[in-house]
Amino acid sequence: MVRPHVDQRSLLQGKL
């Protein structure tokens, strides 16, 4: 299944 940790990282990058 998709890891939540990666999701958080992606969200942070998108915000930047």
Per residue in 1-16, pLDDT tens? 667 667 788 777 877 6
Q: What is the dihedral of CA 9, 11, 12, 16, to 10 degrees?
A: 140
**pLDDT computed for residue 1 by the predictor:** 60
Q: Where are the alpha helices (DSSP H) in the chain?
A: 4-15
- Residue identified by tokens 């958080």 is 8
Taking the CA of residue 2 as centre, how many other CA atoms within 13 Å lie in the half-sphere pointing to its CB? 6
**pLDDT computed for residue 4 by the predictor:** 66
**pLDDT computed for residue 2 by the predictor:** 65
Question: What are the C-alpha distances in Å from 15 to residues 1, 7, 8, 9?
Answer: 24, 12, 11, 10
